[in-house]
Structure 1
Amino acid sequence: MAQHYFDSDPEAASRPATVDLVLPDLHLRLGTDRGVFSPGKADLGTRVLLESVPAPPAQGRLLDLGCGYGPIALAMAARAPGASVLGVDVNGRAVELARRNAENNRLSNVDFRHVTPEGRPADGTPPGPEQGPFDAIWSNPPIRIGKPALHALLTTWLDRLSPEGTAHLVVQRNLGGDSLHRWLESQGRPTERAASRAGYRVLRVRRG
């Protein structure tokens, strides 16, 4: 069976690699591997998000939903050293990579959790920091899991925004960015297009 980055325990043989995420304000060197999202280079959608969003809250609790090997969470942590950042992913290999990347980039205000698709700890321990509330959520969500699963995922985590919290989601236009915008609005979540570049939409979403 084909392996996907949203598998909990990828069976793809390990092939470690390194990618560089270079942004105007920071440079992160990140370890990657097969079986995780975009192992060969920093994904364009991730770059569009990180180059388009306003600065994260200087303090509070921040979330990277679907963190992969950590580029978004680590950028949040570097930009907001006074905040507490959490990255979550269903892919256990990605979470381990993200933890090592935080250590290697000397970012101590970020943690990572392996979770189930329902947003609970994958190791069966009691719910913890992944329950929120979060003052900001940044995400390059896994569109390819299909609409029902994506909608369930976003409902779970957007409900964990603080009352004044804001989420920024990056989605390819031709993979349903505009239809996702309409769906979010239909769920009573005020949504606006914050940026549009290179075929991607960056959606700004409030809890509603």
Structure 2
Amino acid sequence: MNHYFTDNRQLAQNRKEITFRFSCFKFSFITDNGVFSKEYVDYGSMIFLEALEKEKLGNNLLDVGCGYGTLGVVLKKMNPASKVTMIDVNPRALELAAINAEKNETEVDIRQSDIYEKVSEDNFTDIITNPPIRAGKAVIYKIFDEAYEHLAAGGHLYVVIRKQHGALSAQKEIASVFGNCDIIHKERGYFVLKSTK
């Protein structure tokens, strides 16, 4: 089976366009086979964006596991003065993310990276992730744990995760690294977690 968190460029192409409104903006995204939530923007991402809209994000954001670009593109649109870097292991997703950034008139830095493999910076003000649950606990905990070394002092890690996918154990894991992890929003089984370095 070809998961969305792998290099699955050999899959047949079947692109489609989805549109949605968030805040005062209308967004249009191209999706395809082999990417997460290709039919519509997933509910977890929408809940995550609603929670992040209320936060004071800094000027240097990293979207880990960006997929076709929903979170990074929307956050760049809402925070135009901020630098936004988007990473994913899936080349097909990244190709779409680049198309979607241009389509929505946003300028972002997009990189293919297996978690933080191609990320040398240690000065992000905010790291955000809607983690690839199907990749397994070892992968998603690595995303959480290694975020710490890529954040500036006072920087934040934000995570959206469903309760049934281990939100409470994820909270404990993150707290063991950061010394803190708060639930800043809960809705329909989704938890938004926030930690501060």
Range of TM-score over shorter length: over 0.9
**CA positional deviation for 1:181:** 0.5
Amino acid at match of 2:72: A
Residue 112 of structure 2: aligned partner: 114
**CA positional deviation for 1:188:** 3.7
1:184 to 2:174 alignment: yes
**CA positional deviation for 1:55:** 4.2
Residue 174 of structure 1: aligned partner: 164
CA distance in 1, matches of 2:92, 2:36: 10
**1:58-97 pair list within 5 angstroms:** 60-97=59-96
TM-score (norm 2): 0.93
CA distance in 1, matches of 2:20, 2:11: 24
Deviates more, 1:42-51 or 1:154-163: 154-163
CA distance in 2, matches of 1:89, 1:169: 16
- Runs of 4+ aligned structure 1 residues displaced above 3 Å come to none
**CA positional deviation for 1:171:** 0.1
1:205 to 2:195 alignment: yes
Matched residue SS, 1:159: helix
TM-score (norm 1): 0.88
Correspondence for 2:127 among 137, 140, 145: 137
CA distance in 2, matches of 1:189, 1:141: 21
**Structure 2 unmatched ranges of 5 or more:** none
CA distance in 2, matches of 1:35, 1:196: 29
CA distance in 1, matches of 2:148, 2:20: 27
Correspondence for 1:161 among 133, 151, 156: 151
CA 40–187 in structure 1, closer or farther in 2 if over 3 Å, else same? same
Kept in 1, the 8 Å contact 2:178–2:195? The answer is no
Matched residue SS, 1:131: coil
1:29 to 2:19 alignment: no
CA 61–140 in structure 1, closer or farther in 2 if over 3 Å, else same? same
Which digits, 9 at most, give the CA deviation of each residue in 1:17-65, with x for residues without a partner?
Answer: 11113213322100011101111110110000001122453x5211111
**Structure 1 unmatched ranges of 5 or more:** 122-126
Kept in 1, the 8 Å contact 2:148–2:177? The answer is no
CA distance in 1, matches of 2:178, 2:71: 26
1:196 to 2:193 alignment: no
Matched residue SS, 2:48: helix
| Count of aligned residue pairs for this structure pair | 196
